A and B are shown apart, each in its own frame.
Chain A
Amino acid sequence: MNTGGKQFKHVMTTPSDREIRVERIFNAPRERVWQAMTDPELVAKWWGRGNELVVERMELTRGGHWRFVEHSDHGTHGFEGRYSEVVPPERVVQTFEWDGMPGHVALETMTLEDLGDGRTKLVNVSLFMTSADRDGALASGMEAGMEASYAALDRVLAA
């Protein structure tokens, strides 16, 4: 999808109003990318975005629980979810929830494609849940759910 002369670091699209799709090519064979993403010791080296990361749980199997905690000068941020599909070395489907936005669960589908030339294409599609937690969030006056809000807003704008 990203052809032509332009070289982008990554490609981000929004296939629907509840999804974010990110595509990126790594200069590394698929097995290595898979290992970096699934070995807790290696995950600790990059997942924290430069912050210290504690991998509290990483039960890499269907139904298994994961919980990672970032520690920085600005505080502590916990992230967690469950694996719903694990297919080495090419696919992980998991839920993602941040302690800072409780109830807002995203379903992440990560696939690794071997490009055959020592490079690997990662595609991550995040589907945002907007039903039950949306109602709760609306009731509490905090975050509005995306789908309903878009629809409602479009109605307002069209009026």
Chain B
Amino acid sequence: MALSDPTRRAILLKLGRKEASLGELHADFEMTLTGLKKHVHVLEEAGLVSTRKVGRARHCRLGPKKLENVTKWMSLYRDMLEERLDHLQAFLESNEEVAR
């Protein structure tokens, strides 16, 4: 079951935003590179992710069985949420006069 695992769903959400190399994906997930590769392999077998070699790196993107409809809104929402939190963080760290 390709989608029964939260890490695999998170990989799809991430790739729904933009392509990433295995190394870049690995930086975002708390697991060994071997573990991550296994998840990507499951997704690739299912046609949800496709990978290709670029130089020494392996690039991953959504595969032929794109989950666009499924992931689009969650991915978009997540981007907006993260942008908001970035701005909140910047606001909190720049404005020492917030407290009244």
Interface residues of A (CB under 8 A from B): 1-2, 4, 6, 8, 10, 12-17, 20, 22, 24, 26-28, 31-33, 35-37, 42, 45-50, 98, 101, 104, 106, 122, 124, 126, 128, 142-144, 146, 149-150, 153-154, 157-158
Whether the Cβ atoms of B98 and A154 lie closer than 8 Å is no
Interface string of B57-89 (1 = CB under 8 A from A): 000000001010111111011101111111111
In the bound assembly, the distance between CA atoms of A36 and B98 in angstroms comes to 7
Nearest-neighbour CB distance to chain B for A94, whole angstroms, equals: 13
Nearest-neighbour CB distance to chain A for B7, whole angstroms, equals: 8
Number of residue pairs A-B, CB distance < 8 angstroms: 123
Q: Pick the contact of A20 from B27, B74, B85 — CB < 8 Å?
A: B74
Whether the Cβ atoms of B80 and A49 lie closer than 8 Å is yes
Contacts of A42 in B (CB 8 A): 91, 98
Whether the Cβ atoms of B85 and A24 lie closer than 8 Å is yes
9 A/B residue pairs, CB under 8 Å, sorted by A: A6-B27, A12-B10, A22-B85, A24-B85, A49-B83, A126-B81, A150-B70, A153-B70, A157-B47
In the bound assembly, the distance between CA atoms of A15 and B9 in angstroms comes to 9
Q: B80 — nearest CB in chain A belongs to which residue?
A: A49
Contacts of B70 in A (CB 8 A): 144, 146, 149-150, 153
Contacts of B87 in A (CB 8 A): 46-50
Q: Which of B78, B81, B83 has the most CB of A within 10 A?
A: B81
Q: Pick the contact of A154 from B2, B28, B69, B100 — CB < 8 Å?
A: B2
In the bound assembly, the distance between CA atoms of A46 and B70 in angstroms comes to 29
Q: Which of B47, B77, B90 has the most CB of A within 10 A?
A: B77
In the bound assembly, the distance between CA atoms of A45 and B95 in angstroms comes to 10
Contacts of A146 in B (CB 8 A): 70-71, 73-74
Given A10-B85, A16-B6, A157-B46, the answer on whether A104 and B92 have CB atoms closer than 8 Å is no
In the bound assembly, the distance between CA atoms of A98 and B63 in angstroms comes to 28
Whether the Cβ atoms of B89 and A24 lie closer than 8 Å is yes
B3, CB-defined interface residue at 8 Å: yes
Whether the Cβ atoms of A158 and B1 lie closer than 8 Å is yes
9 A-B pairs with least C-beta separation: A144-B69, A46-B91, A46-B87, A49-B83, A28-B92, A14-B9, A149-B70, A150-B3, A157-B46
Nearest-neighbour CB distance to chain A for B66, whole angstroms, equals: 11
In the bound assembly, the distance between CA atoms of A13 and B10 in angstroms comes to 6
Contacts of A150 in B (CB 8 A): 3, 9, 70
